[in-house]
Amino acid sequence: MIRVRGMHKSYRTGKLVTPVLHGVDLDVADGEMVSIVGPSGSGKSTLLHAIGGLDRDYEGTIEVDGRDLRAMSDVELSAYRNRHVGFVFQAFNLLHHQTCVENVALPALFARGEGMLSREQALDRAREVLGRVDLHDKVDALPTTLSGGQRQRVAIARALFNRPRLMLCDEPTGNLDSVMGKAIIELFRRLNEEDGITLVVVTHDPKIAASTQRTVRVQDGLVLEGAGDALEAEAAAAENSSNTADAEASAEGSADPESADVPEDPADAPAQEALA
Amino acid sequence: MRSARLFALVLANLRRSRNHFLLASIGIVVGIATFAFFLALGLGVRAVVLGKIFPLDKLEVVPRSLEVDVGPLRMGLGQDALDDAMAAKLGALPGVTAVYPKMKLTVGSIAYGGESLFGADLRSEIVADGIDPALLASEINKDGYQFVDHETPERLAAEPPKACTADAECGDKMYCGEPPGTTTPRRGTRKKPGPDGQPDQPEPAKVCRHFVPVIVSHHVVELYNGTLRRAHGFPQLNPDAVRGFTFDLIIGESMVETSNQDQVIHDRGMFVGFSDKAIPLGITLPLGYVQRYNVRYNGEDAAQRYHSVILEIPVKDDVAAVAKGVEDLDLKVKDSGAEEAALLIAVFMMVFGLVSAVIVGIAAVNIMHVFFMLVYERQREIGVMRAVGASRGDIGRIILGEAASLGTMAGTAGIVLAVTAGTIFDHVSARYVPDFPYKPTTYFDFPWWLIVAALGFSISFCVLGALLPARRAAHMEPARVLSGA
Ligand SMILES: Nc1ncnc2c1ncn2[C@@H]1O[C@H](COP(=O)(O)OP(=O)(O)O)[C@@H](O)[C@H]1O
Ligand SMILES: [Mg+2]
């Protein structure tokens, strides 16, 4: 389904050029569930955004279902994001002034062509999808009244709204405690197994990585197949004690349930780190 | 359907940010109100000035040598270049649809009467001119009143006036008086007839006569009602009530001693109506009467000595060409002041148009700031919308849609404000400002195109202000704001 070849990506901030990825090759088959691990700042999000059609400023090719993303116009790429991809982010990124059902139906606003639904159809479908993530009773709630795990499930429902074949999840459990995180991963596995949705999950959680069929590692600008020694060590460390997780994990993946339930616009810690 | 859905989003966003927008739009509201108010004022005043005071669809042509008339003291007349032949030439100029030769009464004359109107008889030197009655037939001849020459030689020959001794013996709108053209030695003010209709002194054989039809310009009524009546404590005149009012006309008599003639003509006049074609200050008679009076006192030549010719030019754009043609005939266009008035009003409208443009321009800069701030505040939201399928164009359209909606609302508010202010202004003028000539019931004219222009102005400036913020929003990298906790 996904075919990345020779992908190079550098960020330019003024005169400063930060090379991030240099020569990434990656294949993801239809129906696969892949986890991506790697140190903070290694370019995992960058890769995910490019695959999801949020960023076209790279070299090399990314094909999804045989279609070269960079050859698409902005409108075509937007339609691709709308119909074929579901994004799930660490920060949930819900619109806090809209109810859960409105958040979930948001993709309907930007549908084109035959994918267009009436407002009623869209809200009906949003309710149905919220039911699938066990949130029937939160349809008209505002996201700010929900727990972190519930918010992430609303975000997942939004990603599922247009029945995508591909879901791209960027540290989806990063703001959740381990119990909630586990439930989310369970949900992903169900979507993968029951609905055949292809999932690419960026994670710092070695337990999540270990639970996927396949793990790739982004390091030094390249994608390496397999978790490698470091991951196994992390997994082992996590088995023994959650306190001995390495520096990155404790820095990025906050496991504190209190801070996970972020108010309004959560502080953008890793983004700030990335911009610094 | 898609755009309808996005529009709903636009409205929701406007509602959500209403406090920001309320502040941002005050400048636009004030600017548009200024624009609409002063433009409507200019248009309204122009309609009064050019429509009633100086109609622009007419040119008055005078001989080059003839000095402007100064009322009862008539200046020495130069050679008269305006005769029937010249009038025909003027009528042949392209763009001219009608020609009205006018002849001034060149002999001193006095009007006397008015008790029924003013409560006392007035005696006044009059300025009079004559105009071809055929040109006013449709305008004046109604309700039983007629502006016609009743005493052309042909008519008198066909229907000789019958003898009478009292007004009652004659028909409607007729009186018993001296035969047409009779002159009698001047002997001071003519005595008012006694209650029985008989004059105090025996008169020569009398005949039934039509009153001399007289029309006046609206200017006269305006001037009277606006200022004159106040100075003299006279009642306000309703123009309709003036029709049918009769008075004595004494041709050849003047308050200016040197203008007095030895022989005078006693006729009686009747107001039959109002017309813009009448002399602005004075009375206008059918041309034949004036010709006969002038011939009586100034000789046969006077019959064709027109003092001016009014040209009717319905298409404004032809006026300049006609004026040129007039110059080529060695005549000149009498300056009515219309051009200056029009220029003055145009300058007034331009100045306030400019002032409102500056206000709206500054407001647009303010709007730009607000939108930049909003785009910054909403960058995560914009990123989310991009992630779920919004194109750059969608984002730009949402921002510009907000600006256009804001512009529509602010523009509407501005127009409502302007109309309200205009209504209050008119009300205050009607209640507290004393009458003055041409005092209008409304000073404002809000034509549909002014409303459309004000709305368009408002919308375009709001959209203009939001253009750069919308561009920034559309080109924001969604990835940056979406990743991270
Ligand atoms: N918009 C950006 N502009 C400049 N540099 C960026 C931007 N986004 C990410 N980077 C840099 O690119 C590198 C990779 O970032 P990212 O893909 O977010 O890493 P990861 O998700 O693996 O933590 C980091 O060094 C980060 O600082
Ligand atoms: Mg990341």
Q: In the prediction, which pLDDT does A235 show?
A: 53
Length of chain A: 276
Give the model's confidence band at A239: pLDDT under 50 very low, under 70 low, under 90 confident, else very high. low
CB-based contact A124:A96 (threshold 8 Å): no
3-state DSSP helix/strand/coil % of chain B, to nearest 5:
55, 15, 30
Listed ranges B139-143, B320-324, B328-332, B460-464; the one with the highest mean pLDDT: B460-464
Question: Are the Cβ atoms of A109 and B5 closer than 8 angstroms?
Answer: yes
**Long-range contacts formed by A221-229: CB under 8 A, 24+ apart:** A221/A19, A221/A20, A221/A21, A221/A22, A221/A23, A221/A24, A221/A42, A221/A43, A222/A21, A222/A22, A222/A23, A222/A24, A223/A4, A223/A24, A223/A25, A223/A26, A223/A36, A223/A47, A227/A37
Please check whether residues B180 and B260 belong to one and the same domain.
yes
Please check whether residues B92 and B49 belong to one and the same domain.
no
> What count of other Cβ atoms lies within 10 Å of the Cβ of residue B324?
11
Q: Summarize the confidence of residues A105-130 as an average pLDDT.
A: 91
Q: In the prediction, which pLDDT does B448 show?
A: 95
Listed by start position, the domains of chain A span 2-231
Q: In the prediction, which pLDDT does B297 show?
A: 87
CB-based contact B38:B283 (threshold 8 Å): no
Angle between helices A74-84 and B392-432 (to 10 degrees): 100
Task: State the residue range of the domain holding B405.
Answer: 3-53+341-483
Please check whether residues B33 and B140 belong to one and the same domain.
no
Q: In the prediction, which pLDDT does B411 show?
A: 95
Q: In the prediction, which pLDDT does B402 show?
A: 94
Q: Distance between the two ends of chain B, CA-based, in angstroms?
A: 35
Ligand 1 closest atom vs CA A276: 27
Please check whether residues B331 and B226 belong to one and the same domain.
no
Instruction: Indicate the fold that domain A2-231 takes in CATH.
Output: Rossmann fold (3.40.50)
Please check whether residues B77 and B143 belong to one and the same domain.
no
Q: Which amino acid is at B438?
A: Y
Per the model's pLDDT, the better-predicted residue between B69 and A114 turns out to be A114
Task: Assess whether pLDDT exceeds 70 at residue A232.
Answer: no
> Chain B, 356-385: which have a CB under 8 Å from a chain A CB?
380-381, 383-385
Give the model's confidence band at B336: pLDDT under 50 very low, under 70 low, under 90 confident, else very high. low
Q: What value does the mean pLDDT of chain B take? A: 84
pLDDT tens, B404-427?
Answer: 999 999 999 999 999 999 999 999
User: A41-50, A152-161, B152-161: which has the minimum mean pLDDT?
Assistant: B152-161
Is any atom of ligand 1 closer than 6 Å to the C-beta of B485?
A: no
Q: In the prediction, which pLDDT does A247 show?
A: 43
CA separation for the pair A59, A23 (Å, rounded): 9
Q: Summarize the confidence of residues B186-190 as an average pLDDT.
A: 58
Task: Assess whether pLDDT exceeds 80 at residue B76.
Answer: no
Which residue among A7, A10, A16, A20 is best mutated to probe the pocket of ligand 1, counting the most ligand atoms within 8 A of its Cβ?
Answer: A20
- Chain B nearest-CA distance from A194, in A, is 23
Please check whether residues B237 and B350 belong to one and the same domain.
no
> Chain B, 458-477: which have a CB under 8 Å from a chain A CB?
477
Helix (H, G, I), strand (E, B) or coil at B428: helix
Q: Summarize the confidence of residues A112-126 as an average pLDDT.
A: 88
Task: Assess whether pLDDT exceeds 60 at residue A231.
Answer: no
Residue with tokens 């009528």: B91
Residue with tokens 């502006």: B147
Task: Assess whether pLDDT exceeds 80 at residue B485.
Answer: no
pLDDT tens, B241-291?
Answer: 778 888 999 998 888 777 778 888 989 999 898 887 788 788 999 999 999
B391 at interface of A, judged by CB pairs closer than 8 A: yes
Q: In the prediction, which pLDDT does A271 show?
A: 39
For the entire predicted model, the pTM comes to 0.69
pLDDT tens, A58-74?
Answer: 999 999 999 999 999 99
Q: Which amino acid is at B215?
A: I
CA separation for the pair B32, B40 (Å, rounded): 12
Please check whether residues B324 and B356 belong to one and the same domain.
no
- Burial (CB count <10 Å: 0-12, 13-18, 19+), residue B139: middle
Please check whether residues B323 and B226 belong to one and the same domain.
no
Task: Assess whether pLDDT exceeds 60 at residue A223.
Answer: yes
- Chain B nearest-CA distance from A45, in A, is 7
Is any atom of ligand 1 closer than 6 Å to the C-beta of A257?
A: no
pLDDT tens, B292-325?
Answer: 998 888 888 787 888 888 888 887 777 778 888 8
Per the model's pLDDT, the better-predicted residue between A237 and B360 turns out to be B360
Please check whether residues B48 and B62 belong to one and the same domain.
no
CB-based contact A216:A226 (threshold 8 Å): yes
Task: Assess whether pLDDT exceeds 80 at residue B26.
Answer: yes
With CA atoms as reference, report the closest residue to B376 among B456, B454, B472: B472
Give the model's confidence band at A265: pLDDT under 50 very low, under 70 low, under 90 confident, else very high. very low
Q: In the prediction, which pLDDT does A102 show?
A: 94
Please check whether residues B150 and B68 belong to one and the same domain.
no
pLDDT tens, A161-206?
Answer: 999 999 999 999 888 888 888 889 999 999 999 999 999 999 988 8
Prediction ipTM score = 0.83
DSSP per-residue string spanning B340-374: HHHHHHHHHHHHHHHHHHHHHHHHHHHHHHHHHHH
Please check whether residues B257 and B186 belong to one and the same domain.
yes
3-state DSSP helix/strand/coil % of chain A, to nearest 5:
45, 25, 30
Is any atom of ligand 1 closer than 6 Å to the C-beta of A44?
A: yes
Per the model's pLDDT, the better-predicted residue between B334 and A51 turns out to be A51
Question: Are the Cβ atoms of B393 and A82 closer than 8 angstroms?
Answer: no
> What count of other Cβ atoms lies within 10 Å of the Cβ of residue A57?
12
Task: Assess whether pLDDT exceeds 60 at residue A257.
Answer: no
What percent of chain B is modeled with pLDDT above 90?
A: 28
What percent of chain B is modeled with pLDDT above 70?
A: 90
Q: Which residue of A has its CA nearest to B7?
A: A109
**Which protein residue's CA is at the shortest distance from atom 21 of ligand 1?**
A45
Structural domains of chain B, count: 3
Q: Summarize the confidence of residues A96-107 as an average pLDDT.
A: 93
> Chain A, 28-67: which have a CB under 8 Å from a chain B CB?
45-46, 49, 52, 54-55
Task: Assess whether pLDDT exceeds 90 at residue B452.
Answer: yes
Please check whether residues B136 and B250 belong to one and the same domain.
yes
Q: Which residue of A has its CA nearest to B9?
A: A109
